[in-house]
Amino acid sequence: MITTDYNPEHPDGSMPPPDLCERLLHAAAEAGAQGEIPIAAAIVTLPDESITSDDASSARTTKDAAPWREIALATNQVETLHDPTAHAELRAIQAAAKIFQNERFAHCALVTTLEPCAMCAGAIVLARITRVYYFAPSEKNFGMQRLLHAARIDGTLNHHPEMCSVPQYASRSARLLKDFFQSKRGAASNSNDGV
């Protein structure tokens, strides 16, 4: 597994604020309680950047505005919408694109409770998102870290978002996922007991 932990030497020295991280974990837990895989994601402006409203077509930024402005927050809705593409990351990107009236927002970061899958990674690259902060690494799927690593080796992709793990929230995010899947397996096992 390839990992790139948060680099304290990062140029802007930034990490997602704790209140945003807590909101994401809470939203993920609520999604899990509703039968969705407990994942949440948010699109935020990077510190010292904000969207100006005078030119909606270009989603320009202005310096010295409020840091970490939350643009969109979403959870998985695959089961509810009967849509295999209704991942939290895609839904947050779609909501942000509507707000910006633009398909690209390089002045933004995506913060998510789980490392994005290959499908979501493609959307992140297309949206030109600058940085991805994730709590728990993807251990069962081909996650974004591996995808970007392979793309760097073979020279593909014209945009490479910076990947930053947020390890202080990894165990809580992983616990939500583990508990969710254990309860699903337990429910499936109990329904087969009478067969």
For residue 13, being part of any structural domain is answered with no
For residue 110, being part of any structural domain is answered with yes
From the candidates 36, 89, 115, 139, which is the catalytic residue?
A: 89
Average confidence (pLDDT) over 40-53: 72
The total domain count for the chain is 1
Secondary structure E strands in 46-177: 49-51, 61-63, 70-75, 108-114, 131-136, 162-165
Catalytic residue status for 89: yes
For residue 191, being part of any structural domain is answered with no
pLDDT in tens, 134-178: 999 887 776 666 666 666 666 677 777 888 889 999 999 999 999
* Share above pLDDT 90 across residues of the chain, in percent, rounded to a whole number: 53
Mean pLDDT of the chain: 80
* Burial readout 52-88 (b: 16 or more C-beta within 10 A, e: otherwise): eeeeeeebbbeeeeeebebbbbbbbbbeeeeeeebbb
Higher-pLDDT residue of 180 and 165 is 180
For residue 190, being part of any structural domain is answered with no
For residue 4, being part of any structural domain is answered with no
CB-CB contact of 122 with 144 (8 Å): no
CB-CB contact of 87 with 120 (8 Å): yes
Q: What is the pTM of this model?
A: 0.79
For residue 89, being part of any structural domain is answered with yes
For residue 1, being part of any structural domain is answered with no
Residue 54 has pLDDT above 70, yes or no: no
Range of the domain at 172: 18-52+60-181
Average confidence (pLDDT) over 96-110: 93
Domain harbouring 131, CATH code: 3.40.140.10
